[in-house]
Amino acid sequence: MRSRLETLGGSKETVVGAGAQVTGALHSEGNVYLYGTVGGDLSARGAVIIGPEAHLEGNLTCASAVVAGLVEGNVAARQVTVLSGGRILGDVRAEQLATEEGASLEGVVTLEEVVDLTALLPANAAEGQE
pLDDT digits (tens, 9 = 90+) for 10-24: 568 999 999 999 999
CA–CA separation, 22 and 33 (whole Å):
13
Distance of alpha carbon 91 from the chain centroid = 14
CA–CA separation, 130 and 24 (whole Å):
27
User: In 3-state terms, what secondary structure has residue 117?
Assistant: helix
104: pLDDT confidence band, cut at 50, 70 and 90?
very high
List, for residues 36-79, the tens digit of each pLDDT value.
999 999 999 999 999 999 999 999 999 999 999 999 999 999 99
